Structures are given as C-alpha cells and as structure tokens.
C-alpha cells in the first residue's frame, strides 16, 4: 500500500481545482460517476493500493447519490484507509447555517418577520448557483433527489441579489431552493477566504467592492499561514481578529471536514459570519505558490484527529430528505 499517493475519486472537479494543485503527482485521479455504484473490484483495488482516499465530488448534496459515499467511507475506514471529506453529505447554505448554530457560531439566518427596510441577500441554497445540478439529465436529478432544490428563478451564482425584506414575496420564504440571509458588509469591502487542509490553515484577507465577494487579485489581498495548534495557543502573532481565530478553531474542530475552503464576511465591528463551505474549491490553471501548495499537501499527509467533531450531531453529515 502506498503511503504517499492519494486516490482522488473525482467528478467535475479536476483541471484547475485546488486539490489538483496541492496533490500534483501524488494524486491518482479516478473518475467516478456519482449516479452509479463503485464497482467492487475498483473498491478492492483502491484499498490495496492507497492509504488515503479523497472524495472530490462537485455537488452540494451527496446523501442520496447512488455512489453511496457514506457507505463507501465506512467501508474504506474498516479497511484502514484514511478518507478525506467522506462523511459530509450536505453543504447547502441552509445546512451550513444550522450547523453553525449547533456549534455555537453566529448565523446569517433570517425570518420573514423583522424590519421591512432591512437589506437581505437572496441566493440559491445550492453552492455556486446550483450550476452543476441544474444541467444534470432528468434521471440523475431524480435519482439524487434534487428536483425541489434547483431554483428556476436564480439561474446561477452571479444572479444573487440584495433586496429589502418588504419586497420579497411570501412564497419565497418556503422555497427549498432559495436561501435568504442577512446582508453583511463593511466600509473597506473586505472579506476572508480560508483554505484548510487537515489542521493547516491559510487565511486570505481579500477585498471586493461588489456584493458577491470573490477573490479578484486586489493588491491589498494578504495571505496568513497558520495551523490549529498555533491559533488555539495564540502564538501565531498574525494581525487578525482574535474572534476570527476562535471561530475558525471552533469550526474546524467541530466539523467533519478535512479539506476545502470557507468564505467569511464581517461587519467591521468584530462580528464574523461563515457564509459558504466548499469542499472542491477552484484555484485556476495558473501555477500556485509552491510554498502554499506544499503547506496544504502536508496537512493531508498527516491525517488530523477530529477529537470534537465526532461528538457533534451535525446536519452536514445527515442525509437530506
């Protein structure tokens, strides 16, 4: 069994994705169809050949996929294989916010009641506008239970919009395809993108003037490199909010995730809100700084022990209805 190479069970998330940069030649890409079971002989070959398996399936909801990711994860673990991102079944925005409430972190959830003039953010509940789910064939949508989760109104991530509460129709609040959030912003138009791999963390303080916060190579963007041990002990000496650091430690210790990224917004008054969890972050096709990719690669080479996440009854790991 190889202790160095990682079997990446991948669907729609290879060229230009962060994991591809991080693993490089250490990855063996195994293209899988999430709408079919993994052949038993392929499962045995992976167990006999690799010490680590990573699920790189670019869908927000995995619980009902015929690939049976949770079952595969348990079977891999029984064979002594370390599994990356095998336990998380649902990373929709609403599920993430419920998880944050479960572990005691701030949420951007809102209700229909409240100030009629409050500015809210209207998004798809599926990640990135539900673009991949929207273009699946009907039989795949049915097999995965996506029918009610794909919004016919918001046709992509760049169609997200702000709106006053008083302008939102009553029926939108019960639409399972839509997520309505507090709109959080600050005077300097900054936000945070956090990449994590095992217990290693890269925190990017970034700037974007538009309401949809995306990395845009602003010259003020700054990378901060740390890990959970240093963040917890307060020895990192990073010029970052202590509240932000504590929130990150809480999330990473109490969430069954091993690799991915978080988008965090703030109001300029030391209030931070995690608004997106992405297990298959895109990084572009250009080379990335080798120090950063090697730093993240080492995080997967030393499997983390999530001492607290096993105790959390999280909706992230539950199978969606």
* pTM (predicted TM-score): 0.95
Report the half-sphere exposure of 59 (CA within 13 A, side-chain side).
Answer: 27
User: DSSP assignment of 76-104, as one string?
Assistant: HHHTT-EEES-S--B--HHHHHHHHHHTT
Residue given tokens 């673009």 in the structure block: 131
Please check whether residue 108 is in contact with residue 273, taking contact to mean a CB–CB distance below 8 angstroms.
Answer: yes
Cβ atoms < 10 Å from Cβ of 16: 12
Please tell me the distance from the alpha carbon of residue 159 to that of residue 76, in angstroms, as a whole number. 39
Q: Give the residue ranges of DSSP H helices in the chain.
A: 18-23, 40-49, 69-78, 93-102, 131-134, 138-144, 228-233, 242-253, 290-301
Domains of the chain in sequence order: 2-84 (3.40.50), 93-106+188-311 (3.30.470), 119-182 (no CATH)
- Sheet with 50-57, edge to edge strand ranges: 27-31, 2-11, 50-57, 82-84
C-alpha distance across the termini of the chain, in Å = 38
Share the mean pLDDT of the chain: 93
Sorting pLDDT into bands at 50, 70 and 90, what band is 287? confident
Q: What is the pLDDT of residues 236-277, one digit of tens each?
A: 778 999 999 999 999 999 999 999 999 999 999 999 999 999
pLDDT at 305 over 90: no
Q: Give the residue ranges of DSSP H helices in 170-224.
A: none
pLDDT at 277 (0 to 100): 98
Sorting pLDDT into bands at 50, 70 and 90, what band is 310? low
Q: What is the pLDDT of residues 42-52, one digit of tens each?
A: 999 999 999 99
pLDDT at 2 (0 to 100): 47
Structure tokens at 312: 């959390």
Q: What is the pLDDT of residues 59-114, one digit of tens each?
A: 999 999 999 999 999 999 999 999 999 999 999 999 999 999 999 999 999 999 99
Helix, coil or strand: residue 244: helix
């Amino acid at each position: 069994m190889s202790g160095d190479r990682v079997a990446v069970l991948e669907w729609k998330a290879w060229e230009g994705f962060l994991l591809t940069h991080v693993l490089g030649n250490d990855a063996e890409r195994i293209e899988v169809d999430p709408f079919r079971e993994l052949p038993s002989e392929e499962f045995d070959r992976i167990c006999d050949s690799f010490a680590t398996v990573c699920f790189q399936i670019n869908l927000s909801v995995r619980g009902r996929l015929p690939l049976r990711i949770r079952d595969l994860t348990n079977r891999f673990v029984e064979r002594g294989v370390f599994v990356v991102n095998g336990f998380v079944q649902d990373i929709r925005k609403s599920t993430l916010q419920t998880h944050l409430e479960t572990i005691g972190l701030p949420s951007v959830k809102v209700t229909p009641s409240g100030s009629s003039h409050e500015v809210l953010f209207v998004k798809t509940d599926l990640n990135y506008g539900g673009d991949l789910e929207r273009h699946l064939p009907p039989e795949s949508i049915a097999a995965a239970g996506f029918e009610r989760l794909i919004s016919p109104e918001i046709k992509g991530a760049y169609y997200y919009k702000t709106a006053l509460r008083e302008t939102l129709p009553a029926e939108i609040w019960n639409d399972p395809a839509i997520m309505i959030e507090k709109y959080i912003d600050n005077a300097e138009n900054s936000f945070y993108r956090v990449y994590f791999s095992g217990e290693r963390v890269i925190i990017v303080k970034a700037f974007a003037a538009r309401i949809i916060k995306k990395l845009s190579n602003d010259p003020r963007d700054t990378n901060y490199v740390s890990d959970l041990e240093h963040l917890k002990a307060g020895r990192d000496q990073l010029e970052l909010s202590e509240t932000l650091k504590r929130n990150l430690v809480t999330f990473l210790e109490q969430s069954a995730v091993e690799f991915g990224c978080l988008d965090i917004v703030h109001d300029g008054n030391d209030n931070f809100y995690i608004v997106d969890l992405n297990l298959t972050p895109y990084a572009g096709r250009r080379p990335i700084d080798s120090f950063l990719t090697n730093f993240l690669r080492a995080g997967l080479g030393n499997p983390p022990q999530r001492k607290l996440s096993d105790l959390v009854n999280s909706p992230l790991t539950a199978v969606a209805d």
